[in-house]
């Protein structure tokens, strides 16, 4: 069984939108975007909307977290995979399921009730923080970077710098 060619794993609560479907996909040279999200895997309307913003020649798959874990090692070598998840918990589930993720890009984690803003595009709650800390313990860097030509910022620096945000 060969290791799947995962170019990048991104957390973005919007999943696929213009930035992901065009900018990131083209920058990475990805030819397959795997949306690993239980809700999106079962929402055909959301899938067709996301497919509309994809670059030509790039395939999409909408899998539950468990299906992603079950099929990732069946990927062909020619598949250059870009995984998109909604939350850090989703990424952690994939990692626990032995999906070979070695780096996480964080795009958007919108503010909502119970979350605190730690960056222009990232708001976290206690569970998010715990998931990021667990990913770091597993040796997986998590970097906030909205677009490819922007410099990234290690999220753990933001979690550490803002002790008032740690519960």
List the catalytic residues: 17
Spacing of C-alpha 23 from chain mean position = 15
Give first-to-last CA distance, the chain, whole Å: 42
Please classify residue 137 by burial: count the beta carbons closer than 10 Å to its beta carbon, then call 0-12 exposed, 13-18 middle and 19+ buried.
exposed
SS3 23: helix
d(CA 165, CA 133): 13
133: left (phi over 0), alpha (psi -120 to 50) or beta: alpha
What are the structure tokens assigned to 160, written together? 């550490």
Dihedral, CA of residue 115, residue 36, residue 46 and residue 88, to nearest 10: 10
3-state secondary structure (DSSP) of residue 120: coil
């Amino acid at each position: 069984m060969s290791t799947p060619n995962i170019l990048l794993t991104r957390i973005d609560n919007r999943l696929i939108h213009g930035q992901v479907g065009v900018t990131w996909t083209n920058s990475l040279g990805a030819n397959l975007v795997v949306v690993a999200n239980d809700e999106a895997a079962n929402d055909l309307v959301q899938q067709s909307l996301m497919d509309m913003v994809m670059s030509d020649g790039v395939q999409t798959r909408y899998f539950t977290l468990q299906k992603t874990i079950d099929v990732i090692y069946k990927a062909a070598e020619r598949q250059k995979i870009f995984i998109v998840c909604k939350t850090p918990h989703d990424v952690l589930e994939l990692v626990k399921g032995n999906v070979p993720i070695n780096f996480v890009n964080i795009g958007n984690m919108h503010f909502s009730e119970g979350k605190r803003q730690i960056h222009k595009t990232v708001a976290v709650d206690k569970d998010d923080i715990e998931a990021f800390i667990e990913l770091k313990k597993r040796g997986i860097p998590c970097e906030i970077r909205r677009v490819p030509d922007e410099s990234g910022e290690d999220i753990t620096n933001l979690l550490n710098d803002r002790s008032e945000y740690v519960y």
